[in-house]
Amino acid sequence: MMITVSRKAHFNAAHRLFRSDWSDDKNEAVFGKCNNPNFHGHNYELIVSVTGNIDPETGFVIDMKVLKDLIKSNIENAFDHKNLNKEVAEFKELNPTAENIAVVIWNKLRPHIDDSKKLEVTLYETPRNFVSYRGA
Q: According to the 3-state scheme, what is the secondary structure of 14-78?
A: EECCCCCCCCHHHHHHHHHHHHCCCCEEEEEEEEEEEEEECCCCCCCCCCHHHHHHHHHHHHHHH
- What single DSSP character describes residue 108? H
Pairing mode, if any, of strands 40-53 and 118-124? antiparallel
Q: Catalytic: 34?
A: yes
Pairing mode, if any, of strands 40-53 and 82-83? unpaired
Q: Which of 42, 112, 120, 125 does the annotation list as catalytic?
A: 125
Q: Catalytic: 81?
A: yes
Q: Which of 10, 34, 87, 93 does the annotation list as catalytic?
A: 34
Q: Which of 28, 42, 45, 81 does the annotation list as catalytic?
A: 81
Q: Catalytic: 42?
A: no
Distances (CA, A) of 90 to 44, 54, 76, 116: 17, 34, 14, 26
Active site residues: 34, 81, 125
